[in-house]
Amino acid sequence: MAASQPTQARARKLRTEIERHNDQYYVRDAPLVSDAEYDLLFRELQQLERDYPELAGPDSPTQRVGAAPLPQFEQVTHRVPMLSLGNAFSEEEVTAFDRRVRDALGTDGVAYLAEPKFDGLAISLTYARGLFTQGATRGDGYTGEDVTPNLRTIKNIPLRLKGRAVPELLEVRGEVLMYRRDFEQMNLRQRARGEKEFVNPRNAAAGSLRQLDSRITAQRPLRFFAYAIGVIEGAALPETHAELENWLQSLGLPVCAERRVVSGVQGLMQFYGDVGARRAELPYAIDGVVYKVNSLAAQEQLGYVARAPRFAVAHKYPAEEAATEVQAIEVQVGRTGALTPVARLKPVFVGGVTVTNATLHNLDQVRAKDVRAGDSVIVRRAGDVIPEVARVLLERRAPGAPEFSMPAKCPECGSKVERLKSEAVYRCTGGLFCPAQRKQALLHFASRRAMDIEGLGEKLVDQLVEGGIVRTPADLYLLGAGNLAGLERMAEKSAANVIAAIEKSKKSSLARFFFALGIYHVGEEIAKVLARHFGTLQCLLDADWAALSAEKDRVQKENTRRRNKDEALLDAILPGVGPEIIQSVASFLSQPHNREVIEQLRASGALIDRQIEPPSKTAGKLHDKTFVLTGALRGLSRDQAKALIEAQGGKVAGSVSSKTDYVVAGSEAGSKLARAEELGITVLDEAGLQQLLKGHR
């Protein structure tokens, strides 16, 4: 049955009323009615919508109670990346920022919009014709998670934009956060219900936003503030950022009241000081203030550098500090044998978390700060994340406190400790004999960015290594359920999961595999370069490093020459890989032990040898192309070149014909080259082949 006229009118009235109360409560901070009265209105509307479903719309306030849990979050690609801001910590850095801006714009006296920098989570809200359709987290800036149902429950996010002239499409950016007093009340409730409390408002907001069950999110006192836009279609932009924010406000979006247009370094510093003085009174946590060039045209002109806009900067307040005691200075052994001194601290709450450890990096740092066991120290979280010892309270030092010194023997395995050349770090020389290094090597092998073996964490690795069950990565692939039975926290289910994860990791890529080996100096990036260059594991194993080095030098010299003449450059061989890295890889591969492990890995199927990286980008690039190799190549053997070509879907034939697409000619090329020229076939030199293999045309 359709709703009668008066019922429709009543529903409309209720909706307007409820939104007005939401606005009063969450935006103006001045509720007009009690919670009970509000509930009454809300329930009445819910009932009406249940009776007459056609009255319910996507913008009804009843949509804010949350929906059934999602199985998982979907990925969302941001059409305009959500970049982070550069930081400034001092007046000098602010001055430098202002100077860069003025120089780039060629003007004096630039106006800035200054506002607080919320300590929350950046999100993006999409409104299509004024209706809220999608919300996403920032993620890595390029891809985030679709948390629309959760954002729908945030009371001060409008489900429909106000006014007649709403844009066709508008992506609003801002911050989700929790007011401090809301956070405290919520924690009281959590405690009363025996549920886990949150350590700080930021974590609480993050945890709430990541709830798969939006009905839980609906119970959390989250708020939103808008401060920028991403995509906009069907509306003209105002001229300044200040006007933009006013406009957002007129659309019904909450915008922070603490904003001001200022100019000059003096104006910026004044704002910084004013907000800083009132920081503790603000209802939300901030970690600094943001300055944005006010003119949007100028913003566009300034553009972006790397991952940050050039027209804005975050001016941070000093990190919160706290006093505590150094209970001991211990030495940790890393994957490469690096010995890192770590201060074990009496637990102290600072910057929103309880800190118990702080790295001291290396001996130079310990000496520079003169930290000793038993000292009273000031601790802070560098960049508000990594704990660090800021300084020692020397006046409280016990007399005769011994200075810290690096142990001469590795605390884990007793091997000799060395300090190489001018390196800052000391290293354990035990190599894989050292259990600590072996554990770290295994953890690295299994890590997310390497072979991505889920479930193979520190606890398990400790047990596997100490029990002598696993010694090398190759041993992982020999594990059966029987090996894991009886280990701590390894019941049937977990064991099966780990085994399955190990099995799954066999389908990894060559680049990940090279990275997983843990060769010194070979990180993710260099591993990719190596994988791209060699194409197969066998080619890497067979590489003639001396020849490769020589060839690399030759290309580099040639390029230097060409650069001076403004000629087209050759593709560099192994870009980013210099003598040190080549030396490191060659030396790794020259050790029989490492070769053995690689062979075992191969035998157990840890990597299908002909696999190339990245398959999505290069697969079939040379599909249906026929190559003929002739003459001697420098950096590659004939087999290597063949494997590289085949890895990308190409074919290598024995003789030149009209069906041949490319002839690759090395030195002392013979009749095949002559025939190729007769037939007018493209002739490549080695660099040309590399270029083709890398996919640059």
Partner DNA sequence: GATCCTCGAGTTCT
Partner DNA sequence: CTCGAGGATC
Looking at the Cβ atoms of 172 and 516, the one nearer to DNA is: 516
The position carrying tokens 């943001």 is 290
631 binds DNA (CB under 7 A): no
The position carrying tokens 């799954």 is 504
Q: Count how many residues are written for the chain.
A: 697
Q: Which of 133, 246, 270, 332 binds DNA (CB under 7 A)?
A: 332
DSSP symbols for 461-521 = HHHHHHTTS-SSHHHHTT--HHHHTTSTT--HHHHHHHHHHHHHGGG--HHHHHHHTT-TT
Q: Which of 527, 531, 540, 555 binds DNA (CB under 7 A)?
A: 527
DSSP state, residue 632:
B
Looking at the Cβ atoms of 18 and 529, the one nearer to DNA is: 529
Q: Which of 520, 646, 649, 685 binds DNA (CB under 7 A)?
A: 520
Largest CA distance in the chain: 95
Cα separation, 211 vs 69, in Å, equals 8
Contact 113, 298 (CB under 8 A): no
Surface-to-core class of residue 350, CB atoms within 10 Å of its CB (0-12 exposed, 13-18 middle, 19+ buried):
buried
Surface-to-core class of residue 127, CB atoms within 10 Å of its CB (0-12 exposed, 13-18 middle, 19+ buried):
buried
Stretch that binds DNA, among 55-63, 134-142, 570-578, 588-596 (CB under 7 A): 570-578
Looking at the Cβ atoms of 85 and 673, the one nearer to DNA is: 85
Stretch that binds DNA, among 51-59, 237-245, 258-266, 352-360 (CB under 7 A): 352-360
Stretch that binds DNA, among 10-18, 72-80, 338-346, 664-672 (CB under 7 A): 338-346
DSSP state, residue 27:
I
Q: Which of 129, 391, 563, 617 binds DNA (CB under 7 A)?
A: 563
Q: Which of 160, 260, 521, 621 binds DNA (CB under 7 A)?
A: 521
Least CB distance to DNA at residue 293 (A):
20
Looking at the Cβ atoms of 256 and 522, the one nearer to DNA is: 522
525 binds DNA (CB under 7 A): yes
609 binds DNA (CB under 7 A): no
Surface-to-core class of residue 480, CB atoms within 10 Å of its CB (0-12 exposed, 13-18 middle, 19+ buried):
exposed
364 binds DNA (CB under 7 A): yes
Nearest 5°: the CA angle 470, 475, 476 is 90
Judged by DSSP in three states, 578 sits in: coil
Q: What are phi and psi of 79, to 5 degrees?
A: -65, -40
Least CB distance to DNA at residue 609 (A):
22
Contact 313, 94 (CB under 8 A): yes
365 binds DNA (CB under 7 A): yes
Site for DNA in 83-112 (CB under 7 A): 84
Cα separation, 134 vs 127, in Å, equals 7
Least CB distance to DNA at residue 591 (A):
16
Looking at the Cβ atoms of 364 and 677, the one nearer to DNA is: 364
Cβ atoms within 10 Å, residue 88: 22
Stretch that binds DNA, among 15-23, 108-116, 148-156, 332-340 (CB under 7 A): 332-340
Task: Select from 561, 563, 572, 560 the least CA-distant residue to 686.
Answer: 572
Q: Which of 336, 429, 494, 538 binds DNA (CB under 7 A)?
A: 336
Tokens of 276: 């800083």
* Residues contacting 560, CB < 8 A, separation 6+: none
Site for DNA in 575-604 (CB under 7 A): 575-582
Site for DNA in 406-445 (CB under 7 A): 422-425, 440
385 binds DNA (CB under 7 A): yes
Looking at the Cβ atoms of 245 and 287, the one nearer to DNA is: 287
Contact 272, 289 (CB under 8 A): yes
Judged by DSSP in three states, 333 sits in: strand
Looking at the Cβ atoms of 328 and 382, the one nearer to DNA is: 382
Cα separation, 238 vs 234, in Å, equals 13
Looking at the Cβ atoms of 669 and 687, the one nearer to DNA is: 687
Q: What is the torsional sign of CA 113, 115, 120, 126?
A: negative
Least CB distance to DNA at residue 318 (A):
12
625 binds DNA (CB under 7 A): no
481 binds DNA (CB under 7 A): no
Tokens of 575: 């870009």
Binding mask 188-227 for DNA (x = CB under 7 A): -----------x---x------------------------
* Residues contacting 374, CB < 8 A, separation 6+: 325, 326, 327, 397, 398, 401
Contact 141, 188 (CB under 8 A): no
Looking at the Cβ atoms of 160 and 180, the one nearer to DNA is: 180
46 binds DNA (CB under 7 A): no
Least CB distance to DNA at residue 282 (A):
23
Looking at the Cβ atoms of 359 and 483, the one nearer to DNA is: 359
Q: How many residues bind DNA (CB under 7 A)?
A: 53
658 binds DNA (CB under 7 A): no
353 binds DNA (CB under 7 A): yes
Strands 353-359 and 338-350: antiparallel
487 binds DNA (CB under 7 A): no
Tokens of 629: 């190799």
Query: For every residue of 74-100, which 3-state class applies, written as one string?
Result: CEEECCCCCCCCEEECCHHHHHHHHHH
306 binds DNA (CB under 7 A): yes
Category of 441 on φ-ψ map: left (φ > 0), alpha (ψ -120 to 50) or beta = alpha
Q: Which of 33, 338, 378, 499 binds DNA (CB under 7 A)?
A: 338
Looking at the Cβ atoms of 25 and 520, the one nearer to DNA is: 520
Contact 531, 514 (CB under 8 A): yes
Q: Which of 266, 357, 655, 671 binds DNA (CB under 7 A)?
A: 357
526 binds DNA (CB under 7 A): yes
Least CB distance to DNA at residue 523 (A):
2
Least CB distance to DNA at residue 545 (A):
12
Looking at the Cβ atoms of 264 and 575, the one nearer to DNA is: 575
Task: Select from 265, 151, 248, 163 the least CA-distant residue to 209.
Answer: 151
Looking at the Cβ atoms of 332 and 538, the one nearer to DNA is: 332
Cα separation, 209 vs 214, in Å, equals 8
Q: Which of 361, 397, 554, 651 binds DNA (CB under 7 A)?
A: 361
Tokens of 653: 């034939």
- 69 preceded by a cis bond (ω within 30 of 0): no
Q: Which of 249, 356, 376, 494 binds DNA (CB under 7 A)?
A: 356
Q: What is the torsional sign of CA 41, 44, 49, 52?
A: negative
Least CB distance to DNA at residue 182 (A):
18
383 binds DNA (CB under 7 A): yes
572 binds DNA (CB under 7 A): yes
Stretch that binds DNA, among 120-128, 234-242, 360-368, 596-604 (CB under 7 A): 360-368
Which positions are annotated as active-site residues?
Answer: 117
451 binds DNA (CB under 7 A): no
Q: For binding to DNA (CB under 7 A), which residues are involved? A: 84, 199, 203, 306, 332, 334-338, 340, 342, 353-359, 361-362, 364-365, 382-383, 385-387, 422-425, 440, 520-527, 556, 559, 563, 572, 575-582
